[in-house]
Structure 1
Amino acid sequence: MKRAGEFSLIDFFLSHFPRPRVPVGPGDDCAVLAPSRGAQCITTDAVVEDVHFTRAWFSPEDIGHKALAVNLSDLASMGARPRWFVCALALPRDYPRPALGGIARGMSALARTHGIALVGGNFTSARELSITITAAGELPRGTAPLTRAGGRPGDVLYVSGTLGEARLGLSLLQAGRRRAPAILRQKRPEPRVALGRLASRYASAALDLSDGLAQDLGHLCAASRVGAELDLEALPLTPAVRAALGPEGALAGGEDYELLMAVPPERTSVFERACLRAEEAVTRVGRLTPDAMGRIRTGRGRAPRLPAGFDHFRRGRQGAD
């Protein structure tokens, strides 16, 4: 007997992924996993049409990549090793099968890169395309997770990579451009998984930059009950971002998916040497201060009105979770 359309689509999507090495994988009501004795880190995130991507600008491969990348970035910020994920797809009824295959290819390529296995999920119909992923990672036994709450006054602030390119890429897409390095950063962010695992040995606190450095640093300060000083001139910006947005604009640039890390001063030298050996680019951008109100200052003690990052419940541009 021929299967119904939903189950045919599920089989087609799963065919792009290797069979997971778990006790029970896709096909049952639940996946059954065999975790190690280390702590488990669980995250969930969604990418939604016309919020996180637009089909006119993003290929199906881009969409699949981004849906998984934003979850891997959360695992990276905790220092976790990615292990498993489940994927719930909401598809318009007329969504083309070749495009579904493109989503699967983009997602599975990134999954293979980071060694994370698809172990289950769900399909449903909807007015717009959305993908919700729940991902799980593991910490080595005896290793504490990196959280937002571990920062202390005097800790040195580092960011990975460069900032503001995803925001610039979005503005270029909105202006009709289709090819530029910044556009690739908007479409296919690269989660800093290896750096997160390295940083877990040195950092006191961390989080990923999904909503912009100004807003996400505010989250870290609030959780750690500290303030911060930023050196705007030290921000790692490409010439294109510096010209188009400047440091202040880059502070509000969501969807970079870089890591913000607070490292105790006595560990900074060894952390920088470890990053150099691992070819992980990090930049000192400031320090945490004993300001229980969580104020963020820039320059010579100035406390300007910092730009807000992305917020789903304010009107504005396409952006991140």
Structure 2
Amino acid sequence: MVPAPPSPSAFTFSEDGILACLAGHFPQTHPSLLLGRGDDCAVLKAGRPLCVSSDLFLEDIHFRRSYFSPEDMGHKALAVNVSDLAGCGARPLGFTLCLGLPDWVDMAWLDCFFGGMAALAGQQRMALAGGDLSRCERLHISVTVWGETAEPGGFLARGGSMPGDSLFVVGRLGLARVGLHVLEAQGRAALADWPAACAAHLRPEPQVDAGLMLARAGYNARPPALMDLSDGIIRDLPRLLGLSGELRAGADGQPPQQNQGQNPGQSQGLGAAILLPQGLLHPEVLRYAQEQGKNPVHEALLGGEDYALLGSCAPDMLPSLHAAIPGFCSIGTITAGGGITCNNEPLDRLSGFDHFEAGARGKKAD
């Protein structure tokens, strides 16, 4: 039985006190570490290739203290990074944590924050290898994660879709968007009437097992194309198809390396025909859209922070993936003609959230 962490009142609010509180939540040793926290660097035990991802989690940009509990913040700050590993079909191993702490933070708050983060880290068997602490005007959280390949299997990439491939998602679409809107309007009182939507926004659950199964499914076949769905289908599907510019060339001007068996040239000129009936959407998405006079399918397509998986695969893989992966849902077909439609409607007038558009704040664009 794991002993409970010491009471936060046992620690003074100082760098050493914060580190002692953190040590009560996160073990010092881990099978993936040769040397853990306490030295200038951690030393990783890397027997296979590693994939790495980093994310910022910033007050009043990605979350508000008015409706995020400390436990919610700790969970989500790690979860959004773990979702990137899931999008590569990777098994999480560890992470580093950098915190900029403003004057209002105290040991009780930190104890709850570390508790929310440690619960997810324990669930995913991840080591906290180190990080940094600093004072800051607003709460600033930066997490870097790493993971290893599935066995058997390899990392999955966004590129490699081909005309005729099936488009799929794993997870709910648009639910976190509804959660954001109702939390902004009502604060934590929204949890009573919108429990699933609020949970999707406050405590997303990364699709790690699904990512690993998709990676294994590609071991003896053409690997699926896959990515983390964090900015909504409207923004993320062009990235999957190589239409956003990110997959068009590497630093040397040549196409970037893809998974074995994938042809990066196939991404040129791709499009998609999405089929998304309302019956696939969560009842809270449908109810919110009806109350607000909005199109529920558009809400699902625009919805950011779903932390679902978006991918494509050869059609003959669908039966086994449907049977093996909870929440797996085929939603259309990759096309050769360019352009993206949903339920036969062109989507060129819909645009998702961009952090750097004028006036943007948080993931709240309509």
Q: Give the drift of 1:148.
A: 0.7
Match of 2:15 in 1: 6
Match of 1:109 in 2: 119
1:283 to 329, 353, 363: 329
The one-letter amino acid paired with 1:248 is H
234-243 vs 166-175, which moves further: 234-243
CA contact (8 A) 1:64 1:103 kept: yes
Q: Give the drift of 1:141.
A: 6.0
Query: Would you say 1:205 and 2:219 are equivalent positions?
Result: no
Match of 1:217 in 2: 237
1:196, 1:3 → 2: CA distance? 42
Q: Does the C-alpha gap of structure 1 residues 35 and 76 become closer, same or farther in structure 2, counting only changes over 3 Å?
A: same
Q: Deviations over 1:15-60 (max 9, x none)?
A: 2112232221111110001112x22110001110001110111000
2:101, 2:85 → 1: CA distance? 26
2:226, 2:23 → 1: CA distance? 34
1:304 to 330, 347, 352: 347
Match of 2:308 in 1: 258
Match of 2:5 in 1: none
1:229 to 267, 273, 277: 273
Q: Residue 189 of structure 1: SS of its match in structure 2?
A: coil
CA contact (8 A) 2:51 2:85 kept: yes
Q: Does the C-alpha gap of structure 1 residues 10 and 113 become closer, same or farther in structure 2, counting only changes over 3 Å?
A: same
Match of 2:35 in 1: 24
2:204 to 186, 189, 200: 189
Q: Give the drift of 1:131.
A: 0.9
The one-letter amino acid paired with 1:257 is Y
Q: Does the C-alpha gap of structure 1 residues 118 and 235 become closer, same or farther in structure 2, counting only changes over 3 Å?
A: farther
C-alpha RMSD over aligned residues:
1.9
2:347, 2:282 → 1: CA distance? 23
CA contact (8 A) 1:83 1:116 kept: yes
CA contact (8 A) 1:161 1:236 kept: no
Q: Residue 175 of structure 1: SS of its match in structure 2?
A: helix
CA contact (8 A) 1:212 1:251 kept: yes
Which aligned runs of 4 or more in structure 1 are off by greater than 4 angstroms? none
2:106, 2:276 → 1: CA distance? 46
1:24, 1:235 → 2: CA distance? 51
**1:71-90 correspondence runs (5 A):** 71-90=81-100
Match of 2:45 in 1: 34
How many residues end up aligned between the 2 structures?
A: 311
Q: Residue 149 of structure 1: SS of its match in structure 2?
A: coil
Q: TM-score, normalised by structure 2?
A: 0.81
CA contact (8 A) 1:248 1:306 kept: no
CA contact (8 A) 2:177 2:304 kept: yes
1:235, 1:34 → 2: CA distance? 46
**1:94-173 correspondence runs (5 A):** 94-140=104-150, 143-173=153-183
1:267, 1:243 → 2: CA distance? 34
Q: Residue 186 of structure 2: SS of its match in structure 1?
A: coil
1:263, 1:90 → 2: CA distance? 41
Q: TM-score, normalised by structure 1?
A: 0.91
Q: Give the drift of 1:234.
A: 6.1
Q: Does the C-alpha gap of structure 1 residues 188 and 218 become closer, same or farther in structure 2, counting only changes over 3 Å?
A: same
Q: Give the drift of 1:8.
A: 2.1
CA contact (8 A) 2:273 2:333 kept: yes
Identical columns (%): 39
